[in-house]
Amino acid sequence: MRAYLEARPRPSRLAVWLAPLFAAVATIVVGFVVFSALGRNPFAALHAFFVEPIATRYGVAEWLLKASPLMLIGTGLALAYRANVWNIGAEGQLTLGAIAGGGVALAIGDAWPSFVLLPMMFIAGALAGMAWAAIPAWLRTRFNANEILTSLMLVYVASLLLSWLVHVPWRDPEGFNFPQSKMFDANAMLPILLPETRLNASFLIALAIVALAWLFVRRHVVGFEMRVAGLAPSAADYAGISLRRTVWFAMLAGGACAGLAGVGEAAGPIGQLLPSMSPGYGFAAIIVAFVGRLHPGGIALASLLLSLLYLGGESAQVHLGLPSAVTGLFEGTLLFFLLAADVLVNYRPRIARAAVAT
Amino acid sequence: MNEVAQIVVLTLAAGTPLVFAALGELVVEKSGVLNLGVEGMMLVGAVASFIVAARTHSPWLGVSAGALAAAALSLVFAVLALSLRANQVATGLALSLFGVGLSAFVGRPYMSVVIEGMKPLAIPGVSDLPGVGKLVFAHSPLVYASIALFVLVHLFLYRTRAGLVLRAVGESPQSAHAIGYDVIGIRYAAVLFGGACAGLGGAFLAVAYTPSWVEGMTAGRGWIALALVVFATWKPWRVMVGAYLFGSVTLAQFQAQAAGVEVSSQWLAMLPYVATIVVLAIISRDATMIRLNAPASLGRPWHPAG
Amino acid sequence: MAPSPHDTSGAARLPRLSLRGITKHYPGVAANDHVDLDVYPGEIHAVLGENGAGKSTLMKVIDGLVIPDEGTMRWEGEPVDFASPAKAHKRGIAMVFQHFSLFETLTVADNIRVALDAAHARRLAARIRDVSARYAMPLDPARYVHTMSVGERQRVEIVRCLLQAPKLLILDEPTSVLTPAAIDALFAMLRTLAADGVSILYISHKLDEIRTLCDRATVLRDGRVTGQCDPRVETTASLARMMIGGDLPHPVHRAAHAGRAALVVDALDVPASDPFGIALRDVSLAVRTGEIVGIAGVSGNGQKELLAALSGERTVERSEAITLAGEPAGHLGPRARRVLGLAFIPEERLGRGAVPEMSLAENTLLTMRAPPLVVHGLVRASRVGSRTEQTIERFGVKARGPGDAAQSLSGGNLQKFIVGREIEREPLVLIAAQPTWGVDVGAAAQIRQTLLDLRERGVAVLVVSEDLDELLEISDRLAVIANGQLSPAKPIRETSAEEIGQLMAGTGTREPQQAAAALVP
C-alpha cells in the first residue's frame, strides 16, 4: 500500500472554490484549540471573535470600512500575481499614497472645495503609489532584480520616510510634541455613508475598482495577455506579448490601488498623518488575493473575512484580554490551510494496490 | 587601537545574524528550493530563544530552543511546498506572515522582560591583551559559531560527496531522481537546516546582541539575508563578505549619530534597505553570471511522477 | 505470447529479467496493459513501438522510476519488488535516458561520481579514461558538461552507465541526437558489450536501426504486446504492421512550382543569448512560395536560436538580415511579423505553442488578438469559440470542444490543433519546428500531408527537424545546420544521405568513428 498524488487531467473548479471554505473552517478549528489551550471557554471566545464585532450596525459599518483597503489592494495585487509578478510591497505603496494624499490635504487645506480637493488627493495618492511601485518595476525590467525583495525593502524605506515627515517637517506644532501631523480640514475628509458610523466613500471606490478589474480580467485582451505571461512566459514570447510591459502594468496597477487605499485611510478613519497609517493591510491583502483566488469577486468576499479577523483581534483584546496580534496568527494559519488544500485543485490522492512479487 | 578593536567587534556582531540566516538559506537554495520565510523563521527563533532563556535563565538553552522552533516552522514550509506541492513563493510569504504574527502573539508578555544575555567570551588574561586580545578573543560565542558554520558549509558543499549530491539536486532534480536520489528527502533536510540556521540568527539577536524581545525586532534582516544570497552568487565566502558589509552599514547610523552628523535618524536607518536594493540591482544585471551560479532548478516545483 | 522462463530453450537459458503482467494506468489511458517481457544475458533486445505505445513507461518500471499498478518482476530468476532507481542500480540495471540525466554546471568526473556509490567512485578519472578508451568513446573528465555537444553528452551518460558494470543496459531512443557516423560507432560499442554478456534493451521507433542491431524484438501497441520476432528476418513493412496495425502511410508529393522568395535570410549573425547557447554565423537562406525547404541537423546546433530569430521572439541587430514578404523584418517582434504573413509552429507544444492550463479557445487567441476576435481591446468570446470549433472540425482534433484545456489533449491532437490554428490564419510563410516529434503515426502523416497541401496552395514552408527521413520525404530543398552555420539549400535530388550526414557532423568536428570492436582485446 502506498499513498500518492495523481495529477488530474484538468484542474478541479470545485476544489478551487472549496479550498478557501476549508481553510476558513480549519482556521476556526485551530482557534477553538488555541482558545481552549489558553484556558478560555472556546465557544465564548469564538463568539467574541467572530460574532460580537458585527452584531451591531456600527460593527457592520466597521467591518465594511476595514474591508475597503483590503479589497482595493487585494484586487491590485491579484492582477500582478496572475501575471506572476510578485509585488509584496503594497504596504509601502499604501504609505506613499497616504503621504501624497495627506500632503495635498495639508498643503491646500480649506482653500479648495471638497469636490476638487478630494479627487486631487486620490490622484496624488494613486500617482505616489505607482511611483513607489515603479522602482521595483524598473529594477526588474532594467536590471533583472527580484521584485519580491526590492518591493519589500521599499516598505521599510517608506515607513521611515513617513516617520521622518511626521517627526520633522509636518509635525503638528500644537500636537504636544507627538509625532503626528495636523488634523485635516473637514473638506479634506471623505463623506460618511452611514450616519453615526465611520463607513465612508472609500468603500464605494473599492467596489468600483473591483467591478472594473472584473471587466478587465474577463473581457480585456490585456487581462488575457497578462495571464498568459504568468502561466507560460515562453508562450507569451511566442505570442508576442511583452513581458516587460506586463511587469510594468502589474506593478503600477498594484501601486495605484495601494495608493488609493492609503488616501482612504488618511482621509477616512485617521484624518491626519501618523507614523503608521495601516495595521498591515498591505500584507493582509496578499492573503486576501490568494483566498479570493485572484478573482475580483472572490477578493471582495475574502476581504470581508480578513476584515473580520482584524475586528476579532480587537474584540479579543477587549473581551478576552488576548493580544490583538492574534489576528496575524490567524491570518497566517488561514493561508497555510489554503495552500495545503490547494493541492486538491491539481491532484487527487490515491492509494496504490500492492504490486509486489510473490 | 582600542577603537579599531571596538569597531571590529561591533561589525562582526552586527553581521552575525545575517551570516546565520544567509548561510542557511544558501544551503536551501543550493538544493533548488526558494524559502522566502526567512524573516518569519528568524522572528520565531528570536522569540522562542528569548522565552526559554527568560524562563530557564540559560541563554544556551534559549539558543537551542530558537533553532528548534525555527526548524519546526520550516518543516511546515517543507510539507506544503515539497509534499503538497504548493507554490514556493506563496508558501514562503505565508511563512513570513505567520512568523510575524506568531512571534508577536506569544512574545507579548515578554515585551519588557529583562534577561541576562549571553556573555562574550572572556579568557582571563588573553582577552585583555592589548590590541589583539579584544580583536580576536572577545566576541560572543555565537560569533565564533557562525564562523565555524561558514567553514563547515563550505567544506560540505565543495569537499564532500553529500555536498555534491545536494548541488546536483539543485541543478537538476529530475536527473538526480533518475540516478536514484531521494530528491524530496534531500530537500527536506536542506529546508530544515536552513530553518535552524535562521533560528540561530534570530536567537543571536534576542539573547546575545540586544538582549531583549521587541515585536518585529529582526527589522527585515531575513529579507536582507535572502538578498545576500543573490549578492553572494551562491558562494559561502561571499555571503560572509556581504554579511559583514551590511553589518557595518547598519552600524553606520549609530556611528554617524555618535559623531554628531546632522541627519535625521530615519534617513540613516534607510541605509541598509537602500543598500540592499542597489546591491541587488548591480548583481542581478549580469544575467550570465546569475545563470552560471544560481542553482538551475531554484524555485521551480518538482515532484516524482507516478 | 512471450515464452515462459522454463520454455523449450531450457533452464540453462534463464532470463536475466522477466516481467509478467505489467499494468500501469494513467488518468484516461493504460500506458502498459499486461505486458510480458524476457531479456536474456548477452542479447540486444529491441522494444519497438510508436510514440505513446508505452515503451518509456515500461523502461521506467524496470529502472524503478515508475511503480506499476499490477504485475511481477523476476531478476535472474528471483522474484523482486519494484523499488526505486537506487535499488534497480544495485541489481545492475543502468539506463541511458532520451533526455539526459546530466548536470550542466558540473564536470564530467563529478557527473559520473554523483551517480556511482562510494566504492565505485575511487580512482575515478583513471577509470573514466580506461572505459572510454575500451569502448572508443573519448572523454575529458575535467570538462564541464555545459560546454559539450549533445553527442558528447550522450557519451558521458553511457560511460557513466558502463562504470557501474551493468548487467542490463537500457537505451531510450539513443540515436535521435547522433549523426549517421556516430550511430555506427554506437552500434559497434553495443555489440561489444553484448559479446561481454551484458543484456541490452534498445528502445526505438526506427525500424531500420532495429533490423541492423537487434537479436530479438518485442513490439508494443497501445500499451499491449502485439508481437515478438527476430527483426533480422523481418522486413520494415512487416515490423511496421506489428507496430501500427496497418501499413505506413505515405503522403502524396506532387510537383509544385516555386514562386517568389517570401522569406529571405541574408548573412544573419546572432550572438549566443545564454552561456550555454550557440551563436549563429553568416546564415543565408531563401524560401519561395510554393516550396518546402527543410533544415536538418543534430539538436543543439543552433536550431533554437535560428527559429527564435525567424519568429521574432528574438529581434536581430540588422533589420535587413531577415526579409518577410519584401519588408525588412529583423527589428520586428512576433506580432508585427504575423501581420506580414508569418505563421510559426514551435517545437514545444505545451508551454510555448499553447498555454497548458488554458482552453483551446483561449489558445486560439494566443496568435490572433485582432479583429474580428478582439475589437477595441475587448475579446469577443462567441467569435473566438466558433473559430476554435472550426479549427477542431477541419483538422480532426479529438477534443470535446473549445472549452477543453490544452493539456488535456494528447500530443498528436494538440499538434493538429496548433497546426490548424496557424493555417487558419492563412499565412504567406509557415515555419514549423519538429512538426511531428512525439506524434503518433496517423497524426504525423496527416500533418505532413497538410504541409504539402499548403505548399501547393503557394505558401512558403520552412521545416526544421531532426528527423532526416521526414525531411527527405517532404522537402523540395534541404539545408543542414551545424555549429551555428547553415549549408546552402540543395534540391533533394542533388544530394545524398551520406553528404547530409557529413554536413550534420560539421566540417572539422567529425566524431571519431573507428569500429570499436577492433579495440577489444
The mean pLDDT value for A288-305 works out to: 95
User: Which candidate from C65, C102, C114 shows the least CB-CB separation from B164?
Assistant: C114
Mutate one of A147, A152, A353 to test the B interface: name it (highest B CB count within 10 A): A152
DSSP-derived 3-state class of residue C431: strand
Query: Do C82 and A237 count as a contact with CB atoms less than 8 A apart?
Result: no
Query: Do C367 and A239 count as a contact with CB atoms less than 8 A apart?
Result: yes
Mutate one of A84, A147, A156 to test the B interface: name it (highest B CB count within 10 A): A156
**Number of domains making up chain C:** 2
Query: Do C379 and A220 count as a contact with CB atoms less than 8 A apart?
Result: yes
Within this chain, do residues C397 and C414 fall inside the same structural domain, yes or no? Answer: yes
pTM of the model: 0.90
B227 touches chain A (CB under 8 A): yes
Number of A/C CB contacts below 8 angstroms equals: 96
Residue C313 lies in a domain: yes
pLDDT class of C507 with cuts at 50, 70, 90: low
Q: How far apart are CA C465 and CA C292, in angstroms?
A: 12
Please tell me the distance in Å from C253's CA to the nearest CA on chain A.
31
Residue C320 lies in a domain: yes
Residue A291 CA from chain centroid, whole number: 11
**What is the model's pLDDT at position C12?**
52
Give tens-digit pLDDT for C338-366. 999 999 999 999 999 999 989 999 999 99
Within this chain, do residues C326 and C264 fall inside the same structural domain, yes or no? Answer: yes
Please tell me the distance in Å from A326's CA to the nearest CA on chain B.
6
- Lowest model confidence (mean pLDDT) among A177-191, B56-70, C32-46, C50-64: C50-64
Contacts of C358 in chain A (CB under 8 A): 227-228, 231
Selected residue with higher pLDDT from A91 and A17:
A91
Number of A/B CB contacts below 8 angstroms equals: 140
Mutate one of C74, C366, C379 to test the A interface: name it (highest A CB count within 10 A): C366
The mean pLDDT value for B161-177 works out to: 94
Residue B306 lies in a domain: no
Cis omega before residue C271 (within 30°)? no
**What is the model's pLDDT at position C476?**
93
Within this chain, do residues C495 and C435 fall inside the same structural domain, yes or no? Answer: yes
The mean pLDDT value for B294-306 works out to: 85
Q: Which three cell numbers stand for residue B254?
A: 549609530
B192 in Cβ contact with B75 (< 8 Å): yes
Mutate one of B77, B106, B229, B270 to test the A interface: name it (highest A CB count within 10 A): B270
Contacts of B178 in chain C (CB under 8 A): 63, 65, 85, 95, 97, 101
Residue C226 lies in a domain: no
How close are the terminal C-alpha atoms of chain B, in Å?
65
The beta-strand segments (E) located in B156-227 are none
**What is the model's pLDDT at position B131?**
64
Say how many CA atoms lie within 13 Å of C222 toward its Cβ: 6
The mean pLDDT value for C300-324 works out to: 93
C118 touches chain B (CB under 8 A): yes
Please tell me the distance in Å from B241's CA to the nearest CA on chain C.
24
Q: CA torsion B41→B44→B48→B51, rounded to 10°?
A: 150
Measured CA angle at C254 (ends C459, C294), to 5 deg: 55
Q: Which three cell numbers stand for residue B91?
A: 508558501
Give tens-digit pLDDT for C219-242. 998 889 998 999 999 888 888 888
Which domain does B215 fall in, by range? 2-293
Q: Dihedral of CA C252/C256/C259/C264: which sign? A: positive
CATH number at residue C431: 3.40.50.300
User: Which candidate from C72, C82, C354 shows the least CB-CB separation from A235?
Assistant: C354
Which domain does C282 fall in, by range? 259-341+427-500
Contacts of A234 in chain C (CB under 8 A): 348, 351-352
**What is the model's pLDDT at position C512?**
37
pLDDT class of C255 with cuts at 50, 70, 90: confident
User: Which candidate from A149, A150, A325 shows the least CB-CB separation from B101?
Assistant: A325
Contacts of C163 in chain B (CB under 8 A): none
Contacts of C402 in chain A (CB under 8 A): none
Mutate one of C61, C65, C116 to test the B interface: name it (highest B CB count within 10 A): C65
pLDDT class of C502 with cuts at 50, 70, 90: confident
Please tell me the distance in Å from C397's CA to the nearest CA on chain B.
27
Say how many CA atoms lie within 13 Å of C420 toward its Cβ: 24
Contact partners for chain B, using 3 or more CB pairs closer than 8 A, are A, C
- Lowest model confidence (mean pLDDT) among A310-314, B300-304, C294-298, C360-364: B300-304
Within this chain, do residues C276 and C310 fall inside the same structural domain, yes or no? Answer: yes
Within this chain, do residues C408 and C442 fall inside the same structural domain, yes or no? Answer: no
Q: How far apart are CA B102 and CA B107, in angstroms?
A: 8
Contacts of C71 in chain A (CB under 8 A): 355
Phi, psi of C220 (to 5 degrees): -110, 140
Query: Do C354 and A353 count as a contact with CB atoms less than 8 A apart?
Result: no
CATH number at residue B210: 1.10.3470
Place of cell 485582451: A221
Within this chain, do residues C314 and C444 fall inside the same structural domain, yes or no? Answer: yes
Query: Do A4 and B306 count as a contact with CB atoms less than 8 A apart?
Result: yes
Residue C47 lies in a domain: no
> C62 vs A217, C25, C68, CA distance in Å?
47, 16, 10
Q: How many C-beta neighbours within 10 Å does residue C508 have?
A: 6
Helix (H) or strand (E) holding B116: none
Please tell me the distance in Å from A126's CA to the nearest CA on chain B.
23
Contacts of C85 in chain B (CB under 8 A): 177-180
B44 in Cβ contact with B104 (< 8 Å): no
Contact partners for chain A, using 3 or more CB pairs closer than 8 A, are B, C
Q: Which three cell numbers stand for residue C102?
A: 546530466
User: Could you give the percent of chain C with pLDDT greater than 90?
Assistant: 52
Within this chain, do residues C366 and C474 fall inside the same structural domain, yes or no? Answer: no
Within this chain, do residues C332 and C378 fall inside the same structural domain, yes or no? Answer: no
Query: Do C97 and B178 count as a contact with CB atoms less than 8 A apart?
Result: yes
User: Which candidate from A86, A135, A328 shows the least CB-CB separation from B89?
Assistant: A86
Mutate one of A214, A221, A226 to test the C interface: name it (highest C CB count within 10 A): A221
The mean pLDDT value for A11-40 works out to: 90
Within this chain, do residues C337 and C264 fall inside the same structural domain, yes or no? Answer: yes
**What is the model's pLDDT at position C44?**
95
Please tell me the distance in Å from A229's CA to the nearest CA on chain C.
10
**What is the model's pLDDT at position C460?**
96
Number of B/C CB contacts below 8 angstroms equals: 71
Phi, psi of B125 (to 5 degrees): 85, -60
Residue B167 lies in a domain: yes
Q: How far apart are CA C327 and CA C333, in angstroms?
A: 13
* A192 secondary structure, DSSP code: B
User: Which candidate from C28, C68, C333 shows the least CB-CB separation from A240?
Assistant: C333
Contacts of B161 in chain C (CB under 8 A): 113-114, 118, 121
pLDDT class of B263 with cuts at 50, 70, 90: confident
The mean pLDDT value for A230-250 works out to: 95
Residue C517 lies in a domain: no
C113 touches chain B (CB under 8 A): yes
A256 in Cβ contact with A236 (< 8 Å): no
**Number of domains making up chain B:** 1
Of C352, C367, C500, the C-alpha closest to C427 is: C367
State the angle between helix axes of A57-82 and A243-265 in degrees (0 to 180), rounded to the nearest 10: 160
The mean pLDDT value for C4-23 works out to: 70
Written as one letter, the residue type at B248 is S
Within this chain, do residues C330 and C441 fall inside the same structural domain, yes or no? Answer: yes
**What is the model's pLDDT at position A353?**
57
Residue A218 CA from chain centroid, whole number: 21
Contacts of C354 in chain A (CB under 8 A): 235
Q: Which three cell numbers stand for residue C514?
A: 573507428
Q: How far apart are CA A181 and CA A168, in angstroms?
A: 10
Which among A69-78, A165-174, A175-184, C72-81 has the top mean pLDDT? A69-78
Residue C288 lies in a domain: yes
Place of cell 508494443: C220
Selected residue with higher pLDDT from A66 and C468:
A66
Query: Which residue in C has a C-alpha nearest to residue A2's C-alpha?
Result: C67
Q: Which three cell numbers stand for residue C436?
A: 511531428
User: Mean pLDDT for chain A?
Assistant: 92
Give tens-digit pLDDT for B9-47. 888 999 999 999 999 999 999 999 999 999 999 999 999
Checking if the pLDDT of C518 tops 80, the result is: no
B105 touches chain A (CB under 8 A): yes
Domains of chain A, start order:
2-352 (1.10.3470)
Place of cell 486620490: A122
Radius of gyration (C-alpha) of chain A in whole angstroms? 22
Give tens-digit pLDDT for C110-152. 999 998 877 666 788 888 888 888 887 888 888 998 888 778 8
ipTM: 0.91
Within this chain, do residues C313 and C431 fall inside the same structural domain, yes or no? Answer: yes
Query: Do B220 and A153 count as a contact with CB atoms less than 8 A apart?
Result: yes
**What is the model's pLDDT at position C10?**
42
Q: How far apart are CA A333 and CA A26, in angstroms?
A: 9
